[in-house]
Amino acid sequence: MTDALPIDAAALVNGMAVRARAAAAILARAPTERKAAALSHAARILRGEAAAILSANADDVARAEAAGLSSAMLDRLRLDEKRIAGIAGALEDVAALPDPVGSTIDRVERPNGLCLSRVRVPLGVVGIIYESRPNVTADAGALALMAGNAVILRGGSEARASNRAIHDCLVAGLEAAGLPADAIQFVPVTDRAAVGAMLAAQGLIDVIIPRGGKGLVARVQEEARVPVLAHLDGINHLYIDRAADPAKALALTINAKLRRTGVCGATETLLIDRAYADPAPILAALADAGCEVRGTPEILAIEPRAIPADAEDWDTEYLEAIIAVTFVDGLAGATAHIAAHGSHHTDAIVTEDEATAEAFLAEVDSAIVMWNASTQFADGGEFGLGAEIGISTGRLHARGPVALEGLTTYKWLVRGTGQTRP
Amino acid sequence: MTDALPIDAAALVNGMAVRARAAAAILARAPTERKAAALSHAARILRGEAAAILSANADDVARAEAAGLSSAMLDRLRLDEKRIAGIAGALEDVAALPDPVGSTIDRVERPNGLCLSRVRVPLGVVGIIYESRPNVTADAGALALMAGNAVILRGGSEARASNRAIHDCLVAGLEAAGLPADAIQFVPVTDRAAVGAMLAAQGLIDVIIPRGGKGLVARVQEEARVPVLAHLDGINHLYIDRAADPAKALALTINAKLRRTGVCGATETLLIDRAYADPAPILAALADAGCEVRGTPEILAIEPRAIPADAEDWDTEYLEAIIAVTFVDGLAGATAHIAAHGSHHTDAIVTEDEATAEAFLAEVDSAIVMWNASTQFADGGEFGLGAEIGISTGRLHARGPVALEGLTTYKWLVRGTGQTRP
């Protein structure tokens, strides 16, 4: 099948989803060891196929360079020995995670003798729509599988050769473990109609998880008829309270903004308590590190290299070495600013005052709220989840990093002895 | 405001939602006792206003009778002293439930010293769209409030006077407890545009829960841009296994089908293991009880009052004294039939064989799966949840009866000592 021929994207995707549903019924009851074995086999096969994967990736990179992709996109796309080892290692890490399927959430016996329990079961069929990063093929496939789901992967056209090469290893791993190859399927065409068909597949696909830039996520959230777990923006705030330790405030600001500027957990806005004693070293350190500081007039008066912020800056996710900075009037000013401009992703306070910290943790309505820690920790791996399939700023089902548990639901089991309802 | 004047439904609903969001921020931090006090006050006020509520209800009933509503609809609409007492009692029951908000789901310390915890927080703004039953005004308002949410109630036009009278009591209860009146709002118009505006209120309303007939739920599921918790059908199965105890099989069949035929937990299809020794008494008992038995030719050969089932019967939620009956080939036949025709609501097995029962519980992919119990127990109250705001057959967020916990989400709290990410 080639992209040049007209295809019926809906028929293609729906057919994949029907096969995925059949595979999901098997996966839902597959023992943990078998799912883990599939991933261990896949990791071994992936290491053995490193040369072939790198060759496929070189094709993708050459094509992307010819197409003039940005250097950031090229960096996401490019694989090397180390990254392949990382992908294989991640498969093994997921294989070692505790299996959520079948675990009992709670159990109660009713006065009439009915015994009720809630047990975790897989979501069913998960659709992943992603761009650029070939490692998502392996990470998402592994997490979905370990949680007992069938998955339909739709990677970006720029990474198609790399994705297919990695997908081949996953399928070989499934087959080596005696699990259905349809458990991890890869959409074999890269035209956008396939994305539309996935988003419309109500009842066939249970949840869609988009991984990629804002354009992709916005389209998915706008068009999807299938439930979506995602975040659109990470407009994250670091608030330096009057009671902040200056050394921590400095280190956390630099790390939260600049460790990696392109990740969704990067801080985008710095809020400084007007009562904080000495903001100048923090602003200077940002500028020294090559970060563009966009500030209010008060900020500009302190740091001469700062440039004026305009109204849009408070609502912008830069994903670059740019930071918006303003003074606020203490905790209330900080939480009001975050409520007005935040994206419910990750927000942090720096303070030595526990009461202020706890008030911030309670009041800020974000998926992740931090005290004296860098917003760059907003990551499933850092949270001990083994990996993550995405970060959700939605309010239903799963919030923050989504990993195995977020890929399950539950059912109620009721065990009786013949009870009828009066 | 009257329905006869043109209104801007979107402006109306969005304005309500903005006020609800402000109220939700207060409710999210309201102590349990204050929320409970609001409901206790409301119960007391509701009892005191019983005469006024019954008078309003009489107006609704008279209008509904004149409009020719079905007797089932009239029964749902009609209030009496006992039902009012039940509504007030339900408010007090919800007030006594454990408050999920603020409870810690789990907590972990990472090797780098970061302390992570997940704590329950309210969903935010909940929209309830319902028909006929005025008690939903109180039940839904109470559950949403106790879980710390603001709620926008949109009741059916047939119950508008009753709903407003009950809503007045809820608001009086809120005010008596010092909570914002905007916490429980009632859409003051009954035209359908208001429903459309609620369904479109992405970002303003966090979840919609429809309560009512299939037409309403189907419209909500079809149109909503806001996430929906609901069930469309309750095509529930009772499977009588070869190892069923005949007395239990008989009692469970009659109860599951006929205790109340109009509830979503009623059994609609009876599956009888071909190896079950003596199906005739069960079929006779159904017919004796006035239940129309629609069966396959094999069933008709046993029960002369049965009439032939056609293909549609296996996919029909009767909500009446009608039951579809077929033989199946043991457990595998039963689970295959349920997989093909079920609606993932509630399915039950009758058997004395534990291994068969556990296989059924594991294999059937429904929100509620039962062993030797009547499907009519599919109810939040019966499950010990205190009440229910609905039953969900969706796979995300909450499945089966949805009560307080289903009306919450969580956030991650990260407490550090200055950790930066390497």
Residues of chain A found within 8 Å of residue B416, distances taken between Cβ atoms? 370-373, 377
B259 contacts A420? CB cut-off 8 A: yes
- As a whole number of angstroms, the distance between CA B283 and CA B327 comes to 12
B400 contact residues in A (CB cutoff 8 A): 411-412
Among A396, A411, A418, whose Cβ lies nearest the Cβ of B399? A411
CA dihedral B391, B393, B397, B401 (to 10 degrees): 20
Nearest CA in chain B to A246: B418
Q: Which residues of B touch A339 (CB under 8 A)?
A: 25
Binary contact (B420, A374; C-beta < 8 A) = yes
- Main-chain dihedrals φ then ψ at residue A303, nearest 5 degrees: -120, 105
Facing B245 at nearest CB: one of A251, A365, A418: A418
For chain A, list the domains and their CATH numbers.
9-230+398-414 (3.40.605.10), 236-380 (3.40.309.10)
Q: How many angstroms separate the CA atoms of A422 and A188, rounded?
A: 55
A187 Cβ contact partners less than 8 Å away, ≥ 6 residues apart: A12, A13, A16, A152, A153, A154, A155, A194, A198
Average pLDDT over residues A249-268: 97
Contact list in A for residue B123 (CB cut-off 8 A) is 395-396
Residues A297, A299, A304, A310, CA torsion sign: negative
CB burial of residue A51 (10 Å; 0-12, 13-18, 19+):
exposed
Q: Which of residues 20-39 of A touch B (CB under 8 A)?
A: 25, 28-29
Task: Please name the residue that has the structure tokens 């043109």.
Answer: B6
Cβ–Cβ gap A116/B376 under 8 Å: no
Which DSSP letter does residue B181 get? G
Residue spans of alpha helices (H) in B67-80: 71-77
Q: For residue B415, what is the nearest residue in chain A, using CA coordinates?
A: A371
Mean pLDDT within A214-235? 92
Q: Which of A181-185, A260-264, A417-421 has the lowest mean pLDDT?
A: A260-264
Q: Cα torsion for A187, A188, A190, A193, to the nearest 10°?
A: -60
* A390-392 vs B292-295, strand pairing mode: unpaired
> Which residues on B lie below 8 Å from A410 (Cβ)?
399
Q: Give me the numbers of helices (H) and strands (E) for chain A, helices first please.
A: 14, 16
**Strand pairing partners for A269?**
A237, A324
DSSP state of B98: P
Half-sphere CA count of A199, side-chain side, radius 13 A: 16
Q: Which helix (H) or strand (E) holds A329?
A: none
Q: Is B343 on the interface with A (CB under 8 A)?
A: no
Contact B106, A383 (CB under 8 A): no
Mean per-residue pLDDT for A82-88? 96
Q: Which of residues 171-210 of A touch B (CB under 8 A)?
A: 206-207
d(CA B141, CA B130): 12
User: Which H/E stretch holds residue A178?
Assistant: none
- Specify the pLDDT at position A367: 98
A244 to chain B: nearest residue by CA?
Answer: B418
Q: Quick one: which of B199, B331, B343, B335 has its CA closest to B276?
A: B331
Query: ipTM of the assembly?
Result: 0.94
Angle, CA of A239, A245 and A247, to the nearest 5°: 100
Distances (CA, A) of B39 to B42, B167, B171, B387: 5, 12, 10, 14
Of B339, B384, B421, the CB nearest to A382: B421
Residue (of B44, B42, B167, B40) closest to B93 by Cα position: B40
Specify whether the CB–CB gap between B387 and B380 falls below 8 A: yes
Which residues 6+ apart lie within 8 Å of B7 measured at CB?
A: B1, B189, B191, B193
Cα–Cα dist A326/A314, whole Å: 9
Sheet holding A125-130, edge to edge: A184-186, A150-154, A125-130, A207-211
Q: Which of A255, A418, A421 sits opposite B376 (nearest CB)?
A: A421
Chain-centre distance for alpha carbon B71? 22
Question: Is A418 within 8 Å of B28 when comparing Cβ atoms?
Answer: no
Query: C-alpha distances in angstroms, B415 versus A371, B110, B355, B369?
Result: 5, 11, 47, 40
Residue B227: predicted pLDDT? 92
In angstroms, rounded to a whole number, what is the distance separating the alpha carbons of residues A361 and B411?
Answer: 9
Contacts of A52 (CB under 8 A, 6+ apart): A165
Would the CB atoms of B371 and A416 count as touching at under 8 Å?
Answer: yes
Rounded distance between C-alpha atoms, residue A222 and residue A215, angstroms? 10
Which chain A residue has its CA at the smallest distance from B381's CA? A110
First to last CA, chain A: 60
- For B97-106, b/e burial (b = at least 16 CB within 10 A) is bebbbbeeee
For residue B320, what are the CA distances in angstroms to B32, B290, B311? 41, 11, 18
Calpha distance B67→A51 (Å, rounded) = 76
Judge: A394–B366 Cβ closer than 8 Å, yes or no.
Answer: no
Minimum Cα–Cα distance from B28: chain A residue: A363
Rounded Cα distance between B221 and B147, Å, is: 24
Contact B126, B209 (CB under 8 A): yes
Interface test with B, best of A105, A395, A402 (most B CBs within 10 A): A395
Angle between helix A81-95 and A32-48 (nearest 10)? 170
Single out the residue of B175, B173, B162, B164 nearest to residue B83, CA to CA: B162
Name residues 89-108 of chain B within 8 A of A (Cβ). 108
End-to-end CA distance of chain B: give it in Å, rounded: 60
Nearest to A418 among B248, B357, B361 (CB): B248
The confidence band for A2, taking pLDDT boundaries of 50, 70 and 90, is very low
Q: How many CB atoms lie within 10 A of CB A376?
A: 27
At residue B272, what are phi and psi to the nearest 5 degrees? -115, 125
Give the 3-state secondary structure of residue A133: coil
How many angstroms separate the CA of residue B335 from the nearest CA in chain A? 12
Read off the pLDDT of each residue in A281-301 and give the average, rounded to a whole number: 98
- Phi, psi (degrees; rounded to nearest 5) at A184: -130, 100
Query: Which residue of A350, A382, A396 is the best one to mutate when testing the B interface, meaning the one whose CB has the most B CBs within 10 A?
Result: A396
Length of chain A (residues)? 422
Element (H, E) at B178: none
Q: Within an 8 Å CB–CB cutoff, is residue B399 touching chain A?
A: yes
Q: Encoding tokens for residue A216?
A: 């992709």
Task: Please report residues of A whose CB lies closer than 8 A to that of B383.
Answer: 110, 116, 412
State whether B418 and A365 contact (CB < 8 Å). Answer: no
CA distance B22 to B134: 26
**Parallel, antiparallel or unpaired: strands A400-402 and A390-392:** antiparallel
Contact B383 A410 (CB under 8 A): no
Neighbours of A90 (CB within 10 A): 20
DSSP bridge partners of B395: none
Element (H, E) at B120: strand B115-122
Total beta-carbon pairs less than 8 A apart between chain A and chain B: 187
Question: Of A108, A373, A411, which is closest to B366 when you measure between CB atoms?
Answer: A411
Q: How many residues does chain B have?
A: 422
The secondary structure of residue A228, as a DSSP letter, is B
Chain A neighbors of B418, CB-CB under 8 A: 245, 247-248, 251-252, 372-373
CA angle B264, B267, B273 (to 5 degrees): 155
In this prediction, residues A246-271 reach a mean pLDDT of 97
| Chain A residues near residue B23 by CB distance under 8 angstroms | none
pLDDT, tens only, B46-56: 999 999 999 99
CA A109 vs CA A414, B306, B355, B384: distances in Å: 10, 38, 21, 9
Asked if residue A23 lies in contact with residue A200, where contact means CB atoms within 8 angstroms, the answer is: no
Spatial separation of the C-alpha atoms in residues A169 and A163, rounded to whole Å: 10
Please classify residue B116 by burial: count the beta carbons closer than 10 Å to its beta carbon, then call 0-12 exposed, 13-18 middle and 19+ buried. Answer: buried
What are B169-197's pLDDT values in tens digits?
999 999 999 999 999 999 998 888 999 99
Query: Which residues in chain B land under pLDDT 70?
Result: 1-6
Please return the burial class of A238, using the count of CB atoms within 10 Å of its CB with bins 0-12, 13-18 and 19+: buried
Interface of B with A in 357-396 (CB under 8 A): 357, 361-363, 365-374, 376-377, 382-384, 394-396
- Residue B212: what residue type? G
How many Cβ atoms sit within 10 Å of the Cβ of residue A227?
Answer: 21
Angle between helices A280-288 and A246-258 (to 10 degrees): 30
Chain B partners within 8 Å of A374 (Cβ): 419-421
The token pair at A144 is 């979905």
Q: Which run of H or E residues covers position A90?
A: helix A81-95
